[in-house]
Structure 1
Amino acid sequence: MKRLYAALLSLCIAAPATAETLRMAVTTSFHNSGLADVLLPRIQEDTGLEVQLLIVGTGQALRLGRAGDVDAILVHSRAAEEAFVADGSGIHRREIMYNDFVIVGPSADPAGTQSADDAKSALNRIAETQSTFVSRGDDSGTHKKEIALWQDAGYDPEGFDSWYNAVGAGMGAALNTASGLNAYILSDRASWLNFGNKGDLALLFSGDPVLFNQYAFLPVNPEKHPHVKNAEALQLEAWLVSPTAQGLIDAYTINGETLFTFNAE
Structure 2
Amino acid sequence: MTIQRRRFLAAVGSGTAAGLAGCAALGGDGAVLESGGDDESRPTEISGERLTLTTTTSTYTTGLLDELNAPFEDRYGVTVDTVPQGTGAALETARRGDSDVVIVHARSLEDEFIEDGYGVNRRDLMFNDFVVVGEPDDPAGVAGSRDVDAALTAIADSGSTFVSRGDNSGTHATELELWETAGLTVDEFGEWYLDGGGGMGDVLTQANMQGAYTLADRGTYFDMREEIGLEIHLEGPVEGGPEALLNPYGIVAVNPAVHDVNYDLAMAYIGYVTSVEGQEIIEGYTANGEQLFFAEALSAEPNFRQYVPEGWRRSNGGE
What is the CA-CA distance between 1:250 and the residue it aligns to?
0.6
Q: Which residue number corresponds to residue 167 of structure 1?
A: 196
Indicate whether 1:19 and 2:35 are aligned. no
Change over 3 Å in CA distance of 1:28–1:251 after alignment to 2:
same
Comparing 181-190 and 196-205, the one that deviates more: 196-205
- Give 1:239's aligned amino acid: Y
Select the residue among 226, 229, 235 that pairs with 2:268: 235
Comparing 176-185 and 116-125, the one that deviates more: 116-125
Tell me the distance in 2 between the aligned counterparts of 1:205 and 1:115.
6
Q: Which residue number corresponds to residue 257 of structure 2?
A: 223
Indicate whether 1:148 and 2:177 are aligned. yes
Q: Which residue number corresponds to residue 40 of structure 2?
A: none
Tell me the distance in 1 between the aligned counterparts of 2:228 and 2:52.
35
Q: Which residue number corresponds to residue 214 of structure 1?
A: 248
What is the CA-CA distance between 1:159 and the residue it aligns to?
1.1
Tell me the distance in 1 between the aligned counterparts of 2:216 and 2:71.
27
Tell me the distance in 1 between the aligned counterparts of 2:198 and 2:242.
25
Change over 3 Å in CA distance of 1:196–1:53 after alignment to 2:
same
Comparing 36-45 and 121-130, the one that deviates more: 36-45
In the alignment, structure 1 segments of 5+ residues that lack a partner are 1-16
Moved over 3 A (4+): 196-199
Select the residue among 117, 121, 127 that pairs with 2:146: 117
What is the CA-CA distance between 1:118 and the residue it aligns to?
1.2
Indicate whether 1:52 and 2:85 are aligned. no
Name the % identity.
Answer: 40
Matches within 5 A, 1:240-259: 240-259=273-292
Length-normalised TM-score, structure 2? 0.75
Indicate whether 1:128 and 2:162 are aligned. no
Comparing 114-123 and 201-210, the one that deviates more: 114-123
Contact in 2 for aligned 1:92/1:219 (Cα 8 Å): yes
Pairwise CA RMSD: 1.4
What is the CA-CA distance between 1:19 and the residue it aligns to?
2.0
Tell me the distance in 2 between the aligned counterparts of 1:198 and 1:111.
23
- Give 1:38's aligned amino acid: E
What is the CA-CA distance between 1:47 and the residue it aligns to?
3.1
Count of aligned pairs between the two proteins: 248
Contact in 1 for aligned 2:47/2:76 (Cα 8 Å): no
Length-normalised TM-score, structure 1? 0.90
